[in-house]
Amino acid sequence: MKNDSVTQRFLYQRFATEINQMISIRQMTFAEDLYLLHEWMQYRHIAPFWKLDIPLEEFKDYLDQSIQNPNRKHYMVYVDKQPISYVMLYNVRADHIRNYYDYDERDLGAHFVIGPRYFLDKKYIKQIFNTILSYTLQTFESTKMVVEPDVRNRIVIPALKECGFQVVNRIQLPHKKAYLMVYPIKIIDQKGYSDVD
């Protein structure tokens, strides 16, 4: 019953022929996802980058504040019926990242995490972002999507490049050295990411 309920709440779905599986997006909720996200933040492949391997009570405060921020949207991404990723989209104009490039008022930024270690693979990261990009095109009036992965992340960065993200600069953020990567969303129509891998 739980899986049926989740399926009914998917905002967007896309069949990824490259992996022969359905990629789906639903709204993240505090009540439903708190414990799973807190568990993910303890994982060894996540903690060094997100630095949220903190006690549950502290994580509750962090997540609640993030959800209450009107400039952020939070999503869970599924492969078939399994949740594998958390994605936060945010308005660049309201974030410090706007100071690092010539931004447009409509630009969106993205933070994401892959939970189960098995899915930390280029083929899955590519499908997640192709799906997120397609959903973004249909939902928001955005011209670009911006990400800033840690320079040490040797799996995510190549996968993002395969999706079409371009490295604009190497930047020093308060908490990490990162690559500023940009995807021109208006190109999605030409590439047809809603239909192909």
- Residue 196 included in any domain: no
Is 25 within a domain?
yes
Per-block mean pLDDT, blocks of 10 residues, the chain (197 long): 66 93 96 97 93 97 97 97 96 95 93 94 90 89 91 91 92 93 66 36
Q: Please tell me the predicted confidence (pLDDT) of residue 175.
A: 87
Considering only CA atoms, give the Rg of the chain.
16
Give pLDDT, residue 193.
Answer: 37
Looking at the domain assignment, is residue 94 inside a domain? yes
CATH number, domain of 146, equals 3.40.630.30
Q: What is the pTM of this model?
A: 0.87
Residue 96 inside a domain? The answer is yes
Rounded distance between C-alpha atoms, residue 155 and residue 139, angstroms: 28
> What is the reported pLDDT for 138?
86
> 3-state DSSP helix/strand/coil percent for the chain, to nearest 5?
40, 30, 30
Cα–Cα distance between 159 and 197 in angstroms, integer? 13
* Number of compact structural domains in the chain: 1
Would 186 be classed as within a structural domain?
yes
Which pLDDT score, from 0 to 100, does residue 186 have?
57
Domain carrying residue 88? 2-191
Is the Cβ–Cβ distance between 16 and 22 less than 8 Å? yes
Burial class (CB in 10 A: 0-12, 13-18, 19+), 138: exposed
pLDDT for the residue numbered 12 = 94
Q: Is 197 a domain residue?
A: no
- Report if residue 68 sits inside a domain: yes
CA 153 to chain centroid: 15
Residue 39 domain-assigned?
Answer: yes
